[in-house]
Amino acid sequence: MKKIRKVLIVDDSHVVRSFHGNILKSAGFQVDGAADGVEALEKALTDEYDLILCDINMPRMDGLTFIKKYRELDKETPIIIITTQEEAINRQKGYEAGANLYIVKPVKPQALITHIKMLLGGE
């Protein structure tokens, strides 16, 4: 039996977390959410995730800071930044922080699932 993959969605918007969560649940993923980088880091320390979706602009701890701190603990877990910031400098900062992929919102549901499956090695 194949393992159900677990994804952490980090976004300060409850609507966005629900939207992305519903897309992932419909594709068979288990989903957890965090409203900012601080909460995400706490969850990542106590639970294991197969992939993380992360926004950049959030209160308390932004996405780039979260990714840098998370990468000190875990170099392997794929991280996808999903943000409204489309400037090249932000994309560069995202990759420098340790993201595997940088997507500008809004994302098409099927494209998101395709990206996730690609990073997780198909299935």
CATH, residue 110: 3.40.50.2300
For position 4, what pLDDT does the model report?
A: 83
Smallest CA-to-CA distance from 78 within 11, 26, 5, 19 is with 5
Q: Looking up tokens 């939207």, which residue turns up?
A: 19
pTM score above 0.85: yes
75: in domain = yes
For position 1, what pLDDT does the model report?
A: 55
d(CA 64, CA 92): 11
With a CB cutoff of 8 Å and minimum separation 6, the contacts of 107 are 82
pLDDT in tens, 40-66: 999 999 999 999 999 999 999 999 999
Do residues 8 and 25 make contact, with C-beta atoms less than 8 angstroms apart?
no
Q: How far is CA 45 from the centre of its chain?
A: 15
For residues 36-43, give the mean pLDDT: 97
For position 70, what pLDDT does the model report?
A: 96
1: in domain = no
Domain that holds residue 20: 6-119
Confidence bin at 113 (pLDDT 50/70/90):
very high
pLDDT at 19 over 80: yes
The β-bridge partners of 79 are 52
What is the pLDDT of the chain when averaged over all its residues?
A: 94
Share of residues in the chain with pLDDT > 90 (%): 89
**How many domains does the chain divide into?**
1
d(CA 57, CA 59): 7
